């Protein structure tokens, strides 16, 4: 597994303190009734950039800034790019963000509004990654991976610390599963504190690269397809060094959802929880609505609500407004 240690996670928490929100954990009465046990929502939606990605990006860029780095580049499906742009501006650094043509316009515009250089390349996260590496080679940028990096993972892992400090008797944590930076970070911190806790990863049926790689026993290429859970799209990298092995070791179960279930999760969040969230953030709610998550006694379940950066017109269509 990765060389990450629990001490790295605590250092990350100190490094990002004051730049990142320690997010609320609130009970969902509607989901609690459905599950038959208390269900809590970890609201990463209240971060300044609207998603959990700010934690890992801030931790990584702060360390690079300490080393004298001035220019950073990343590849992103939107939220990581926005987080890198935000953190770079706060730290006085220059940022470039490479994204594919599949990234929704609202996410591209949000990165641009933060002053980052926006580069649209190809039709997949992998294509954007190739362009980012070109900028590293030819223009001298430092690369900040969206997930497969111990600094990024340690930043996301601070969510796991916060959950168990607030709710130490939680039995299960449900986390959106994509490249694995969020999942492996939360699972690592949680299982360091509570080795018996169940970690459930949830993804979409359309192009779930980590799930396919876990089934194959190694990182594999998966076509990136359009999905309501667009932030979960993209590959995990055939040369994945950290998140694949960590996810394989730490995950207890994977749930895959169709597009109807993801839409149902978005609608439930709005109508019952008064939350506007993107498809990737709705997958944990959808898994509970589909009764795809087993309860363990009467102990609480926690769902990480990863982000709120959905295109507002798409959201209106889904909720029938």
Number of domains in the chain: 2
Domain boundary pick from 85, 118, 143: 143
List residues bridging with 254 in a β-sheet: 201
* 224 CB burial (10 A radius; 0-12, 13-18, 19+): buried
**Residues 210-222 pLDDT 10s:** 999 999 999 999 9
pLDDT at 65: 96
Q: What tokens appear for 257 in the block?
A: 């959802």
Domain boundary pick from 98, 115, 143: 143
Domain boundaries, position 254:
6-52+149-319
Domain boundary pick from 118, 143, 168: 143
Q: What tokens appear for 154 in the block?
A: 């340690």
Q: How far apart are CA 198 and CA 108, in angstroms?
A: 35
* 1 domain residue, yes or no: no
* 194 domain residue, yes or no: yes
Q: How far apart are CA 5 and CA 9, in angstroms?
A: 7
Number of H helices, E strands in the chain: 13, 10
Say if residue 282 is in the same domain as residue 175: yes
List residues bridging with 214 in a β-sheet: none
CATH number at residue 226: 3.40.50.1100
Where residue 33 falls among pLDDT bands split at 50, 70, 90? very high
Q: How far apart are CA 266 and CA 287, in angstroms?
A: 12
Say if residue 47 is in the same domain as residue 182: yes
Global pTM reads 0.94
Say if residue 47 is in the same domain as residue 153: yes
**Residues 235-285 pLDDT 10s:** 899 999 999 999 999 999 999 999 999 999 999 999 999 999 999 999 999
At residue 125, does pLDDT exceed 90? no
Q: How far apart are CA 12 and CA 147, in angstroms?
A: 15
Where residue 16 falls among pLDDT bands split at 50, 70, 90? very high
Say if residue 11 is in the same domain as residue 138: no
Where residue 292 falls among pLDDT bands split at 50, 70, 90? very high
Other C-beta atoms lying within 10 Å of the C-beta of residue 171: 20
3-class secondary-structure state, position 32: helix
């Amino acid at each position: 597994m990765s060389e990450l240690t629990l001490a790295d996670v605590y250092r990350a928490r100190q490094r990002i303190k004051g730049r990142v929100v320690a997010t609320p954990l609130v009970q969902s009465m509607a989901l609690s009734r459905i599950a038959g046990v208390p269900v809590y929502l970890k609201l990463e939606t209240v971060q300044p950039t609207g998603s959990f990605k700010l934690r890992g990006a801030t931790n990584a860029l702060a360390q690079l800034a300490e080393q004298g780095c001035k220019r950073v580049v990343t590849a992103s499906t939107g939220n990581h790019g926005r987080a890198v742009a935000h953190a770079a501006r706060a730290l006085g650094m220059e940022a470039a963000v490479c994204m594919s043509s599949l990234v929704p316009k609202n996410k591209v515009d949000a990165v641009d509004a933060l002053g980052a250089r926006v580069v649209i390349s190809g039709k997949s996260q992998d294509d954007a990654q190739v362009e980012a590496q070109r900028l590293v080679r030819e223009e001298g940028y430092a690369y900040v991976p969206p997930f497969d990096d111990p600094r990024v993972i340690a930043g996301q892992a601070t969510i796991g610390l916060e959950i168990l400090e607030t709710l130490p008797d939680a039995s299960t944590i449900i986390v959106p599963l994509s490249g694995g930076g969020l999942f492996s970070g939360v699972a690592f911190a949680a299982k360091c504190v509570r080795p018996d806790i169940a970690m459930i990863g949830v993804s979409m049926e359309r192009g779930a690269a980590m799930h396919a790689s876990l089934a194959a026993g190694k990182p594999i290429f998966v076509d990136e397809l359009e999905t309501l859970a667009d932030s979960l799209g993209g590959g995990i990298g055939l040369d994945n060094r950290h998140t694949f092995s960590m996810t394989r070791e730490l995950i207890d179960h994977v749930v895959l959802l169709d597009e109807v279930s993801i839409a149902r999760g978005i609608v439930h969040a709005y109508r019952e929880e008064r939350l506007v969230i993107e498809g990737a953030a709705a997958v944990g709610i959808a898994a509970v609505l589909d009764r795809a998550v087993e309860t363990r006694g009467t102990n609480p379940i926690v769902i990480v609500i990863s982000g709120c950066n959905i295109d507002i017109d798409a959201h209106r269509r889904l909720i029938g407004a």
